[in-house]
Amino acid sequence: MARARPREQVRSRGHHAGLTREAVLEAAVRLVDEQGLTALSMRRLGAELGVEAMALYHHVGSKEELLDGLVEHLFSQAVPAQDAAPEPVAGDPDPWRAVMRRFAHDILQTLLDHPHLVPVVLSRPAATPPVHALLERALVPLRGAGFPPGRSLDLVYALIGFVVGHVATGGGAGDGSAARREILAGQDLSDFPLLARAVEDAPVPGAASPFDTTLEALLAWFEPQAG
């Protein structure tokens, strides 16, 4: 009987602790942040929360649903409710651009804060009602700017795909081109004169980062057409 007590205590805590789906997802994010994605299992997550693994299935029906929930949780952090409009950018008359810039940068920062979860975001569409609500919120400023509905969704998906791909390939918030130049500068480029000259050509001081340059190009391409 004494040996069974710890397990009974764990099961009891799981029954009375008021465990919620949000608490399960937050604990899963912490576990992956600290120990990597391979450490995530229902048993290990239950141990982190002080409950039996079976108690988790009241909140996430399977490991697959848990992974979808992690994507949902990340995007909930990245796209909070827009309580206030972002500060306008000088010379930029289009408020939708400022909203989309913040949308992209918020996703970028969230993924950089949780790098072990990037493979999950890459591999799962997370087509859940909470994710649908986030997409709905992102579409609001585009509707006001006169975007056709389909093009609005194309822009939102293009921004998400760009940001996720940027992080997945090792990009950050700053200028990663300097590090790439250093790598190339140490190699023999005598057979590649254009590349060698490009490496030697110093970047313009104060120039936008590659991330922001590409972001602005995307926004410009999706500019709503007059008429």
As a whole number of angstroms, the distance between CA 184 and CA 187 comes to: 5
C-alpha to C-alpha distance for 4 and 58, rounded to whole angstroms = 23
As for how many domains the chain has, the answer is 2
pLDDT under 70: residue ranges of the chain? 1-17, 80-93, 173-179, 202-207, 225-227
Q: What DSSP string describes 190-227?
A: TT-HHHHHHHHSPPPTTPPPHHHHHHHHHHHHTPPPP-
Q: Are residues 52 and 119 in the same domain?
A: no
For residues 207 and 155, state if they share a domain. yes
Q: Name the residue range of residue 215's domain.
A: 89-221
Query: CB-hemisphere CA count at 13 Å for 23?
Result: 14
- Please give the pLDDT value at position 85: 47
pLDDT of residue 185: 78
Q: Residue 36 in contact with residue 116, Cβ under 8 Å?
A: yes
Burial class of residue 6 (count of CB atoms within 10 Å of its CB; 0-12, 13-18, 19+)? exposed
- pLDDT on residue 10: 45
Domain assignment present for 66 = no
Q: Are residues 48 and 125 in the same domain?
A: no
103: left (phi over 0), alpha (psi -120 to 50) or beta: alpha
Q: Of 7, 225, 210, 222, whose CA–CA distance to 100 is shortest?
A: 222
Distance CA 141, CA 216 (A): 17
Residue 67 lies in a domain: no
> Are residues 43 and 126 both part of a single domain?
no
Q: Give the pLDDT of residue 16.
A: 41
Cα–Cα distance measured from residue 21 to residue 58, given in angstroms and rounded to the nearest whole number = 8
* CB distance 97 to 89 below 8 Å: yes
Six-digit token pair at 198?
């490009």
The position carrying tokens 């804060």 is 113
Q: Are residues 107 and 206 in the same domain?
A: yes
Residue 44 in domain: yes
Residues 20 and 108 in one domain: no
User: Which pLDDT does position 127 carry in this prediction?
Assistant: 78
| pLDDT, tens digit (0-9, with 9 covering 90-100), for 147-180 | 999 999 999 999 999 999 999 988 776 655 666 7
Q: Helices 193-200 and 177-185, interaxial angle, to 10°?
A: 120
For the purposes of burial, counting CB atoms within 10 Å of the CB of 86, is it exposed (0-12), middle (13-18) or buried (19 or more)?
middle
Are 109 and 51 found together in one domain?
no
For residue 115, what is the DSSP state?
G
